Each structure stands twice: as C-alpha cells, then as structure tokens.
Structure 1
Amino acid sequence: MSCHYLHRTKTRLSSLRGKNWQFTSKRNSSLPVHPFHRSFHLFSWYSHQLEKHPLLTKSITAGIIAGTGDVACQSMTESCWNASRTSRFVLLGSLYSAPSRHYFFQYLARAFPGSLPFQVAQRVGMERVFFAPASLAVWLTSLWTLESLMDETSVPKSPFSNVSHYSEQFTTTYPHLLRTSWLWWTPIMAFNFRYIPVQYQVLWVNVFNLVWNTYLSYQTSRRTEKVDQDVSKDQRNRIEDSVEQMVEMHMMSHALY
C-alpha cells in the first residue's frame, strides 16, 4: 500500500514539474514600478531595436537628437523658433550623419580591433585625419544646399551653381570648424573607441553632442546678457551678431557627430 502511494506521489510530482508555473499576487500587482526598472526596460528595448534594425534605429535617434539640440539652442539664442533650420538638422542627422558614422565605425572596429592604447589610437587617427575633414566638407555643402532650396539664404543659387561665392564662404568657415572639431572631439572619440561598444558608439556621440550644444548655447546667451547697457545699439547688435555666428559655427561643427 505504501509503495503504491509512493508511486502515485512520484507520478504526480513529475507531471507538475513539466508545467510552467507563474505565481502572481494581487497584493504586489498594484505596487508602482520603480523608474530604474522602466529605464532598464527602455534600454533593453532600444538595444533590441539596434540588433534588429541598426541603421534605421541610429538614423531616427540621430535625427531626434539633432533636432532637439537645435531647438534648445534656438530657445536660448533666438527670439522665435525657426522650424526650417531645425528640419535641416534633422534631415542631415538622420540621412547623412548617422548612416556615415554607422558604416565607418563598423569599418574601424573590423580593421583595427582591440582595446589596447595603440589600437584605439589607430581608430582615433583614422576618424580624425580622414573621416572628420571629409565629413565636414560634405556636411557644409549639404547644409548650404538645403538653405538655398528653402530660400533661406541671400544667395539664391546652390553651391554647385555658384561656386565662387561658396568657395569663399568655405575657405572662411571650414578651417575654424575643423580646428574646433579636432580640439573638442578627439578626447571624446578616444573614450568612445576605448570603452563604448560599437553598437552604442553613434548613440554616445549624439547624446554628448546634445549636452554640449545646450551648454554652449546657455553660456553664449549669458554672455550676450552681460553686454554693458551703456554700449550703443549698433555696437550691441554687432556683438550679438558675432555671438550668434559663433553659436551657429559651433552648432555646425558638433552636429556632425
């Protein structure tokens, strides 16, 4: 009798062991979800999208961050929002900057693998010496072309049809932006290639770009507020115009990444 009972007990336990049991509690179901868990689930979802649709996810993210950075910049330096300018940053961020970085960063990871200082220096050198100058030239030409197409420039022709004017503008703008890019982004790219996984490198650069642009806009807006009230109106306008030009140049330099 006891053997029969023991056999039935083992059979019952084996059948229960094969089932998937989920214990829920009404008492715990109403508890609020901690923000950390929500952030973790959001990051997990984003990581899954990066694995499933890497280029599309990076392009959408870059466009959103570029547009957000420009809106933040305009809110601190402009009296009204220029939607066309924001749309240009979104288009260039999503259709040019993110795809070019996506493929180039993957190439660097394959061509110069490893995390040793010399290997990281190789990737930084390739990005700083070859990719950054070429990308800056393409980005400036694309920006000026979009401005001409949107009728937001004093020159009604694109850089391809008015070479002399844009060549002069290029020679005065490009060297300063390239120096700024080399000075500011070189240590950031070194950290990026050393510690950030390749699938998150574009996101890291875009997020840092958003923080930097917002900080730069805040500092430059504070500088214009400190202009002496006794200065003449023409002088004050010239100072504000120079500050705005500096903001736009820095925005163009850092929107590349």
Structure 2
Amino acid sequence: MGILSKFNRILNNHPMMTQMIVSGGIVATGDIIAQYIEEKQKWDKIRTFRFATLVGCCIVPFQSAWYRYLQCVQHSNLHLKVAKRLAYDQLVFSPLLNILILTGLPLAEGYSWKRSIEIMKEEWLDIFIDSLKLWPAVQIINFYFVPLNYRVLLIQFVGLVWSTYLSLKTSRKLQ
C-alpha cells in the first residue's frame, strides 16, 4: 500500500483530524518561509506555533463545516451551482475568515482585544482585495473537480503561498 493510499484511508476515517494536522503543518511552513524572507536571525518557533494552532485548531474546523454547508447548495445547472457556491464563499465566508485570522493572530501574540480589532480593521480591506486575486480561481477548481474531503487540503496547499503572504503582512503590523 503506497503513501497516497494510506493517506486516503486516514483522511476517509478521520477527515477533521487529518485536515487539522496537515493544514497546521502547511501554515507552519508558510510562516517559516515568511520568517526566512524577513531575514529573521533566529526562527521564532512560538510565532509559528501560534499561527499553525490558530489555523489548525480554529480555522480548519470552521472551513470544514463551511464546505459541508456549501455541498448543500444545489442547482440543476452545474455552472450555476458552482457560481452560487463561489459567490457564497467569496462574499460571506472569505470576509469572515479574514476577520478571524486578522483578529486571532494579534490575540495569540498577546495583544489586547481592542488592539487586535484595530489591527484587523487596518489590514482587512487590503487582504480581502488581495484574496480576490487568488481565491476565486482556486475555488472554481475546488468546486468543479475536488471531492469534499480534499477541499480544505487543496485550500491549505494553495494556502502555503497565502499563509506566507499573511504572515509577512501581519508580522509587520505586530512588531
């Protein structure tokens, strides 16, 4: 049995836990890359742990539930079904997800609730606009071709680039 077969079996038997672990690892990698780009003299393991924990433990369960909800959005025309899912995802979920991340990261860094909200407000629009340059195309692929249990994982693999960007963007604000 190959590695992919074993992974598929684990994913099918334990989808949430598998998505959480893999996603946390991907986000941790994105943060490590961001720290390398920032030319940090020493790897800030706590920063990486906070980012990976926020995404793996808080965001992924939310994403997983969201994709299961979107699976219920139906239409007899495949293209309209995908368009509806994409519209819900980009106009409802994406703004909320950005709020969660942009508020959660400063809170995890020890900032006050008030300061975390201020940071989120300062960064939200730029990050949302930038997200619209990447995520609609990824989600079209996701909704047309990717089975439900793999959707969060595809998002997190593409999210390696996105989490590197988010880590760079938010770490500048949190210094």
TM-score computed with the length of structure 1 as normaliser: 0.60
Q: By how many angstroms is 1:194 displaced? A: 0.9
Q: Following the alignment from structure 1 to structure 2, what is the Cα–Cα distance between the partners of residues 195 and 201?
A: 9
Bigger mean CA offset, 71-80 vs 61-70? 71-80
Equivalence for 2:169? 249
Deviates more, 1:96-105 or 1:70-79: 70-79
The match for 1:51 is 12
Instruction: State the AA in 1 paired with 2:23.
Output: A
Residue 142 of structure 1 corresponds to which residue in structure 2? Answer: 104
Residue of structure 1 equivalent to 2:43: 81
How far apart in 2 are the matches of 1:137 and 1:115?
32
Count the aligned residue pairs: 171
Following superposition of structure 1 onto structure 2, how do residues 5-84 of structure 1 map, counting pairs within 5 Å? 41-79=2-40, 80-84=42-46
SS at match of 2:2: helix
Q: Give the fraction of aligned pairs with identical amino acids, expressed as a percent.
A: 27
Q: Which has the larger radius of gyration?
A: 1
- Whether the aligned pair in 1 keeps the contact of 2:27 and 2:163 (CA below 8 Å) is no
What are structure 1's unaligned runs of at least 5 residues?
1-39, 149-156, 217-245, 252-257
Task: Give the letter aligned to residue 45 of structure 2.
Answer: A
In structure 2, what is the Cα distance between the partners aligned to 1:54 and 1:114? 28
1:155-174 superposed matches below 5 A: 157-159=111-113, 163=114, 165-174=115-124
Kindly state the Cα deviation for residue 47 of structure 1 after the two structures are TM-superposed: 0.9
Moved more, 106-115 or 124-133: 106-115
Whole-angstrom distance in 1 between the partners of 2:154 and 2:123 = 27
Paired amino acid for 1:109: Q
Note the residue ranges of structure 2 that are not aligned, 5 or more in a row: none
Q: 1:113 deviation in Å?
A: 6.4
Instruction: Answer yes or no: is the 8 Å Cα contact 2:99–2:124 preserved in 1.
Output: yes
- Give how far 1:202 is off: 0.9
CA distance in 1, matches of 2:157, 2:101: 19
Quote the Cα distance in structure 1 between the aligned partners of 2:36 and 2:96: 31
- By relative contact order (CA 8 Å, sep 6+), the higher-ranking structure is 2
RMSD: 2.4
Partner in structure 2 of residue 110 of structure 1: 72
Q: Deviation per CA, 1:233-253, whole angstroms, max 9, x where unpaired?
A: xxxxxxxxxxxxx862289xx
Is the partner of 1:121 in helix, strand or coil?
A: helix
2:27 and 2:117 mapped to 1: Cα distance?
26
The answer as to 2:133 corresponding to 1:183 is: yes
